[in-house]
Amino acid sequence: MTTLPLVKNSSAGSSSKRDPIDWSGAVLNGYLLIFFAYMFLPMIFMVVAAFNAAPTPSVTDWQGFTLKWFAQLANEQRFITGLGHSLVIAFGVIVISIPLGLAGALLLTRLQTRGITLLYTVLVSPILTPGIVLGATTMIFWRDAFGVDAGLLTATIAQSSFIASYCMLMFMARLQRQDLALEEAALDLGASSFLVFRRITLPFLMPTVLTAAALAFLQSIENYNTTFFAIGPSWTLVTEIGARMRFGISPVINVIGVLFVAITIIAATVYVLASRRKNRG
């Protein structure tokens, strides 16, 4: 009686050894999914609710597609006036914050003294100060010291007090990468300090100037706490929205959000296309 030799099934053995699960990739994908859902789902709900005919913003209680809330926004005079106030304050904040932030950055990066740490702490402290304190103290100081009624001016000054600190930090980061040998060579050749700043330092800082201006504009437009306590009887778009929220949410507020999202997307698209065209050129 003959016996057949046993043949090992190599394919079965290899199939029994499964590849290990890539837990790191799964965790990363799960985190990204949760992150993007947390960031964009509320925005999507807001956009959809702006086209709902329901009298209160809702996605689940769908009562039909409508554009009437967009037409109603044109009749909201306080919103339109508030937007104008917001733009005036924002441009005022840019005019004040950019020079103050640049001056502070130049002082901190070029000054060699033992008190530089204390000076840095003082100049950065407005960022850590509550907006209520900044707004109230600005209004009280300008009203009592100079007799200025609270309004757009006090709101602009109050916002600039902390937005200038953000601009300063951006300028400091840029100045720390500058090659000071260029300025020293220009000074050795007889150039004045103002000419060195205008021909060497300022062109080097120009990208940061534009970025800081955009940051100051966005910080000013969306600011509520400081503006609310500094603006007095006047109002901005954000403070008017906050006041309306106490009496219930209106779909018109969703329309404002949709318009801001659309403007942001258009501006970002134009910036990306312009950057690509510049790189190709």
Closest CA to 89 of 144, 156, 137, 146: 156
Q: What is this structure's pTM?
A: 0.84
Task: Enter the tokens of residue 268.
Answer: 């970002």
In the block, which residue shows the tokens 């917001």?
86
* Cα–Cα distance measured from residue 175 to residue 97, given in angstroms and rounded to the nearest whole number: 17
What average pLDDT does the segment 43-72 reach?
91
Q: What tens digit of pLDDT does each residue of 174-204 get?
A: 999 998 899 989 989 899 989 999 999 999 9
Q: What tens digit of pLDDT does each residue of 208-249 get?
A: 999 999 999 999 999 999 999 999 999 999 999 998 888 778
Q: How many CB atoms lie within 10 A of CB 226?
A: 27
pLDDT above 80 (res 10): no
* Cα–Cα distance measured from residue 62 to residue 51, given in angstroms and rounded to the nearest whole number: 9
Domain residues of the chain, as ranges?
A: 77-245, 249-281
What average pLDDT does the segment 125-146 reach?
92
pLDDT (0 to 100) of residue 56: 86
Q: Where does the pLDDT of residue 145 fall: very low under 50, low under 70, confident under 90, or very high at 90 and above?
A: confident
pLDDT (0 to 100) of residue 3: 55
* Cα–Cα distance measured from residue 83 to residue 6, given in angstroms and rounded to the nearest whole number: 86
CATH number of this structure's domain 77-245: 1.10.3720.10
Percent of the chain whose predicted confidence (pLDDT) is above 90: 63
- Label residues 194-222 b or e (16+ Cβ within 10 Å = b): eebbeebbeeebeebbeebbebbbebbbe
